[in-house]
Amino acid sequence: MIEIPKKILFDQNLITKFTELGYSHFEVPARENIQAYSSFGKGYNLDGIKEQIFHIHMCPKDNVMWKQIDFRDYLNKYQERAKDYEYLKLELASKYKNDRGAYVLGKTEFINETLKLIDKKQTYKKDV
């Protein structure tokens, strides 16, 4: 995750610089409670054979995507939940080998459930 001001979120010069480094740019459209943001990927091939894969997401600090940092930290703290996520990702990767969109959508419910667990813990800490 890289914090970036809204005014340069989809700046063509920035996109060109990352393209020169071998990244593909994706403008992730706004949906539900998520504002649009930039995503860069490296390592994907059209034939489905993948190299090591890298993702960079860029958005302003007020974008809900920043909750992904909380999600990561929660999984680092709660190993059982992390294992559940690992199993889900392996299952989805096998099922949707060449369909990244379906793979990502398949993780949505788990991620949203985990974010609710995080919110409950944060609310509890504030109330105590």
pLDDT at 18: 96
| Burial annotation 12-23 (CB, 10 A radius, 16+ → b, else e) | eebbeebeeeeb
120: three-class secondary structure by DSSP = helix
34/30 Cα distance (integer angstroms):
6
What are the angstrom distances between the C-alpha of 21 and each of 8, 11, 14, 18, 25? 19, 16, 11, 5, 11
Over residues 83-127, the pLDDT tens digits come to 999 999 999 999 998 887 898 899 999 999 999 999 887 776 665
Indicate the domain borders of the chain.
Answer: 1-62, 64-128
How many percent of the chain have pLDDT more than 90?
A: 63
